[in-house]
Amino acid sequence: MNRIFPRTPAAPLETPKKTRPVSRPTQRLRTEAELMLRDIAYVLNLTQRVKAAILEKQELTETAAV
């Protein structure tokens, strides 16, 4: 008997659900696809920021010219 973890009756083991395990190549491809999608989202976000900055500068120059 341990002082920290006293003996308790063991809980019944649950049977694991029947799922098909993901094979290694599939998991690697999924991970690579997720990384690529993250990179694409980052580039899209940067593109939107740059576009917004350009449009803002154009509006400022148009108002200053008027």
φ/ψ of residue 58, rounded to 5: -65, -40
- The torsion defined by the Cα of 48, 52, 55 and 57, in degrees rounded to 10, comes to -130
Residue 9 has a pLDDT of 58
Q: What is the DSSP string of 5-24?
A: S---PPPPPPPPP--PPPPH
What would the pLDDT profile of 10-47 be if each residue is shown by its tens digit?
655 666 677 776 668 888 899 999 999 999 999 999 99
Per-residue confidence band for 1, with pLDDT thresholds at 50, 70 and 90: very low
Task: Please name the residue that has the structure tokens 């008997």.
Answer: 1
pTM of the model: 0.55
Residue 7 has a pLDDT of 61
Per-residue confidence band for 66, with pLDDT thresholds at 50, 70 and 90: low
